[in-house]
């Protein structure tokens, strides 16, 4: 059986102070919560505007999990940790 993995994308913009402050903290939380099963990707909305719009990203930072916009605004560490754990548990079933 293949190991469950979750794809986390954080949508940021150049010059976004909130994005810069949150990026590494959230990456650390995601990697800890995922126990080595997280694939992290940073998406610059100025470079991938079409993709961001297709998911419904209206502001930064925003987070998509497995191609679905889950957090349209900056989540707390607990919110991100809980959602990653929930999705990984569901994938194991």
What is the DSSP code string of 36-93?
T-EEEEEEETTTSHHHHHHHT--SSSEEEETTEEEESSPPPHHHHHHHHHHHHHHHH-
User: Predicted confidence band at 1 (pLDDT cuts at 50, 70, 90)?
Assistant: very low
Kindly state the average pLDDT of the residues 28-35.
Answer: 84
User: Predicted confidence band at 91 (pLDDT cuts at 50, 70, 90)?
Assistant: confident
Kindly state the average pLDDT of the residues 41-50.
Answer: 96
For domain 6-92, is the CATH number 3.40.30.10? yes
CA 93 – CA 85 distance, rounded (Å): 13
More reliable by pLDDT, 70 or 5:
70
């Amino acid at each position: 059986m293949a190991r469950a993995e979750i794809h986390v994308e954080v949508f940021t913009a150049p010059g976004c102070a909130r994005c810069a402050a949150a990026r590494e903290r959230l990456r650390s939380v995601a990697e800890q919560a995922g126990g080595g099963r997280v694939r992290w990707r940073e998406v610059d909305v100025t470079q991938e505007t079409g993709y961001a719009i297709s998911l419904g990203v209206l502001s930064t930072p925003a987070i998509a999990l497995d191609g679905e916009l889950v957090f349209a605004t900056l989540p707390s560490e607990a919110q991100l940790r809980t959602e990653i754990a929930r999705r990984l548990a569901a994938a194991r079933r």
